[in-house]
Amino acid sequence: MEATEDDPDLQDILPMALCLNPACEQPDNEDTNDSCASCGSPLLLRDRYRVIKALGQGGFGATYLGQDLQLPGEPLCVIKQLLPQVQDPEMMLMARELFRREAKTLGRIGNHPQVPTLLDYFETPQGFYLIQEYIRGKTLEQEVRERGLYSEAAVKQFLSELLPLLQYLHNQEVIHRDIKPANLLRRDIDGRLVLIDFGAVKDQVSQIKGGSGLTALTSFSVGTRGYAPPEQLAMRPVYSSDIYSLGITCLFLMTGKGPQELDYNPVSGELLWRQAVQISDAFATVLGKMLAASVRFRYQRAEQVMTALDLQPYHDSLIQGLSALPPGTAPIKPSSGRTGSGYPSPQERQAAAIRARRRDRGGQRPEQLADPQQLLALTGSSNPTTGGLGRASLNARDILATYQRGRRDFSQQVLNRIDLSESQLPGINFQGSQLKESIFTATQLERADFGQANLHRANLRRANLHQAYFGNADLSFANLQKADLSDATLSNANLRGANLCGANLRGAKLTPVQLKMAKTNWWTIMPDGRHGRLF
């Protein structure tokens, strides 16, 4: 594991050097010593690296915090030492091969900004060592314990950061095999997530054959139980195995519970997780396919998950519906006006629903219906193009009434200048909607999803936007005075001219560049918790 700044002793490390001789009875030494005062072993690795603190130990080795004495400033680094707890020479060779594999993989992929850089790799008579970049930050496991659970919007943001990295690794023919909250660090310097601990990696989808014909190395390092899917535990990992682990990680972020704390179906092996989280049916469909116990029904590549999230909720659910047709049932054949995917186009499906309802109402035309809610019922929430309620003309009354009936998805709507002030709309989904000059004064919008929405000159004064998601949204010249944006996600949001005077931005995810574009004053609470202007 990499070192993390939250270690309570990290800031107060005494000047010292640790002896790495496993038989040494007194490994603590003064940092001025060249050799151990107890056993006489050299204290510097390659006359360069000094070990100053133990970080962790596993079945095959130990991890230490060290210093590179040959670089200016003697910067910190992470030192991994091979120390397998086995006596069998063949097992020792396999363990060393595991470390070589990690070094080879990190050397190939370590130029990615979300993967620790491999700094050195060498053997000595005393052992085998990897020297890696030291990443200052906290793991997601620690983050959840300290700051609380993730909302659906925050988990989507998490996936938007991790899925491209997963795609990169898989394109390099690398399966990580140990994705979990403890192996994901949020780097302090920029807030980006970094995937660590490639000790269990399977590279180039190749195998080292043991006497049993199985992958010998995987019998020692198959990831973490509960986070590893069945095929990985059976020593047959595939790219989809990482997707399953990522899905389990999402569950932890939203529940704070490890997989062993969740119930499961003893027949199918599927986790019974749906009742443990409060998420939209759209996101549940995507997450369910990530968590499928059978590889056959799981997403195969990270690109498929990204596509599903972009087209929520209907593209993949339709594909699933076609693949689950009863035996002997033929899929719908494409015809004029239909998509080439074998199922009706969004326009056809909406028109068919309207025609069916007209027949049920004795031929009454939609525009003759007295109640606009009846028009909503016609268009329903099954439009895969909008991902929401269709393009019916919605007003504030429509939204409030529909929300009260339990529907939260109002994505991809044209709702410019709508007035929803002082309304109670927690968890509402306005993803991709047009909300220019809309009014949300003093509105309860906790955990709302405004991803990619256009909120140009919108009035969000005194709105509760705690944990709301504004990824890639346009908030230019929006009024956010005294709004509660604590723990909100504003990644890549346009804040040009936005009024953040008196707003609470504690824990919000945004950059100093974004803040510089907005208006702030002494009463603005910055992401780090302090008051005042940033510049």
- Per-residue pLDDT reduced to its tens digit, 384-421: 333 344 444 578 988 998 888 877 888 888 999 999 99
- pLDDT, mean over the chain: 78
User: What top-level class would CATH report for the domain 138-318?
Assistant: mainly alpha
Residue 126 — left, alpha, or beta (φ > 0 → left; ψ -120 to 50 → alpha)?
alpha
List of the chain residues with pLDDT < 50? 1-9, 204-221, 311-392, 534-535
Q: Which residues of 243-254 are buried (b: 16+ CB within 10 A; e: fewer)?
A: bbbbbbbbbbbb
For residues 463 and 481, is the Cβ–Cβ distance under 8 A? no
Considering the entire predicted model, what is its pTM? Answer: 0.55
For residues 321 and 341, is the Cβ–Cβ distance under 8 A? no
What is the chain's length?
Answer: 535
Q: Which of 449, 463, 403 is nearest to 160 (CA)?
A: 449
Active-site annotation holder among 6, 7, 68, 178: 178
Q: Which of 509, 507, 505 is nearest to 519 (CA)?
A: 505
Domain boundaries, the chain: 10-133, 138-318, 348-396, 414-535
pLDDT at 98: 73
Own/partner contacts of 66-70, CB < 8 Å, gap of 24 or more, are 66/131, 68/119, 68/131, 69/44
- Cα–Cα distance, 39 to 52 (Å, whole number): 17
Instruction: State the DSSP code for 218.
Output: G
User: What top-level class would CATH report for the domain 414-535?
Assistant: mainly beta
Give residue-wise pLDDT tens across range 282-325.
999 999 999 999 999 999 999 999 999 874 333 333 333 333 33
Own/partner contacts of 410-416, CB < 8 Å, gap of 24 or more, are 411/312, 411/386, 411/387, 411/449, 412/385, 412/386, 412/387, 412/388, 413/386, 413/388, 413/389
**Domain over 10-133 is classified CATH 3.30.200.20:** yes
pLDDT at 84: 63
Active site annotation includes 178: yes
